[in-house]
Amino acid sequence: MSQCVYLNADGTITATTESADVCQGYVLSTRTEYAASQATASFLAMPTQEQVTAAFNVGVAWPVFFYLVAYGTGLLANFFNRK
């Protein structure tokens, strides 16, 4: 559970009962909450140029490549099936 704390002028911290969404100080979170927030942030992060290129290759280039291989295999099969 997250805890809202404030930094006092003398360098100490004071815990409050405020919820994390209205906290004006610092929010302390558990290890599990931190890991979950990092996983969510990395999932929603902007993809890199390499990731976009890889997605394009998978989505467009590979189907075209396999179509051409299948087309060539069909031509070869028809060549041997001619009478």
Per-residue pLDDT of the chain (83 residues; tens, 9 = 90+): 789 999 999 999 999 998 888 999 999 999 999 999 999 999 999 999 999 999 998 999 889 999 999 999 999 999 988 76
DSSP string over the chain: --EEEEE-TTS-EEE----TTT-SSEEE--HHHHHHHHHHHHHTSPPPHHHHHHHHIIIIIHHHHHHHHHHHHHHHHHHHH--
pTM score, whole prediction:
0.47
Q: Are residues 8 and 20 in the same domain?
A: yes
Paired tokens of 44: 């929603």
Q: Are residues 65 and 41 in the same domain?
A: no
Pick left, alpha or beta for residue 31 (phi over 0 → left; psi -120 to 50 → alpha; otherwise beta).
Answer: alpha
Q: Are residues 12 and 32 in the same domain?
A: yes
Q: Are residues 55 and 37 in the same domain?
A: no
Q: Are residues 38 and 65 in the same domain?
A: no
Q: Which domain holds residue 73?
A: 46-83
Q: Are residues 66 and 82 in the same domain?
A: yes
Number of domains composing the chain = 2
Q: Are residues 77 and 63 in the same domain?
A: yes
